[in-house]
Structure 1
Amino acid sequence: MLTSDDLAFFSVLTTSKSLAESARKLNVTPPAVTQRLRALEEKVGVRLIDRSGRHLRLTEEGSLVASHSVIVSDAIDSLTEALADRKGAVRGHLRVAAPHGFGRIYVAPVVEAFAREHRGATATLQLSDHPTALIVDSYEVVVHIGASAHLDQVVTTLAPNNRILCASPEYLTSAAPITTPADLARHRCLVVRENEEDVTLWRFKGSRQESATVRVNPVMSSNDGAVIRDWALAGQGIMMRSEWAVAEDLAEGRLRQVLPNWKLPSADIVAILGSRHGRSARTAAFLTMLRQSLKPLPWSADPAEKPGQ
């Protein structure tokens, strides 16, 4: 009869490329892993893993055991979480995904603070160019900038974030004047291609709520927002970026806002919650810490809104 320990052991094997890798994960020697696998196969009476090649390959019976290992492991994790939540304990493994730039600057420090404060929990932060393209239910929290396409998921707003049109003083001094959005069609524009959004169609709302749309023809584009910022700082053209990414450059005069009387669609910072983990104590604790870290807004251009002011 297989035990939960047997299934946990086999689950490690199925997520490893070799027995040596499994041994490292289990903190035992490779011969110990081989011996335990042999004992497990003797217990069930069938071969579970084909070890003839360079990589581990599940047999048909091994795939069956692996699928049940996941079910049992999830059930044990859910029970453990439920019992911990009853006591208000923050335990288990927190899985967070976030965009590269924002995640590195604003999310990573909070994950570190969470792990330091809650010693009974562990944490993983996955930084990605497209965090929402990941399997959302594999994470407790997916931090996203802008509207979410996951309409069936729980989405909570963490902080407001405006989009800003800006360029270097050098570019604006030498270029033709920009008084209306239509003028942008004749300017050098830089765009970030981060997702399936139509990034060359720029939409504006005027001070009298009038709308304007302009199709720009980008002279340079990249999937990395930091690269676009560097190009704008070098005087290559006009870019649209989130306020959090350019607030310091604007405050220091390295960039200037273009068409300040025209507003772009906002791109609020939101958290998409995995359906299985949305109410766990560790998720609630992490979201509280993340919200606190963003209040007041660390990138606000208003000195009165700065932390410690």
Structure 2
Amino acid sequence: MDWSLAGRCLDGQSLRGSTFLRCNLQQAGFSGAALEDITFIDCNLTGANFENARLKSVNFVQSDCTDMVFSGSHSEGCSMVKCTAPRVNFANARLDKSSFVESNLENSNFDQAVISMSAFLSAKLQGSDAGGVTFTRVAMPGCDLRNVNLMHAHFECSALPEARLDGADLRATRFLKTALSKANLEGASLNGAHLHYSSFAFAKLSGASFSNAEAFAVQFGGAGLRGADFRGAFLKRAGFGASDLRNANLQDIDASDANFECAQLDGATLAGARCDNASFSHALIGTAVFSGTRLEGAGFHETRRDDAIGLRLPPSAHCDDVERSISEKFDPAAKVQHAPAI
């Protein structure tokens, strides 16, 4: 089809198996309509209304979708490819197995939408409202999510590798079993966020705030966490292996059974923290503050601790190799005895 349907009312209609090529559909009404196997190519759909519509295998390709309305709609297997689509309204919509590829969705409204098994690939979302959105098994690799409202959003079993979230407000956001490896969250606020079983491996997190976050078994391996704020966070079984925690604030955290092996902790404060059964083996503690830190059963194998501030190890702590390294400092003969063979 190649004609003008501008302003045409197709509310409640059933459309199937059609292709609209270079059609003018400005302000067209599809409210409550049922569309299946429909393709819009190079169409003008500015302001078109798909409110409460049901869309299955509907594809928008290289079309102008500015100000379109999909609120309350249900889309399955749909896509937007290389579309101009700012200010689109997806509020309370359901998007299943859908994809947004190289499309401009800036300043769009996804408030309270439910999105599952979908993908945002090189999509622009700056300035959009995704507050309260549920993302389940959604892929957003490399997406720029700066200035996107994600407060109270819920990500589950999703992937956001190399995403841009620096400076983002993620307070009370939930990331359950979600991968944010190599993502940029420098200066982001995750205060009170729920992060259970998620991964921030090799992510950029300098200056990020995780105050009072719930982060059971979260992986921060190799992450840059310099100056990050974890005050009061629940970090039981968290993994900080080889991470950079210099000057980080870990005061009053619960890091029981956590892994700090090979981490850099110089200048960090763990005052009042609970680190029972945590491992600090091979960590670079430097002048970290351990005043009032609980360390029952903690491990400090091959960890130099003589510059740490307020560090008092209970009898249950494992620190045999540390004691040996300290004795080597004062007994050159002991150092030669334990020197590895070349």
TM-score with structure 2 setting the length: 0.22
Which has the higher Rg, Structure 1 or Structure 2?
Answer: 2
Q: If each structure's strand is expressed as a fraction of its own residues, which one has the higher value?
A: 1
TM-score with structure 1 setting the length: 0.24
The one of the two structures with greater contact order (alpha-carbon pairs below 8 A, sep at least 6) is 1
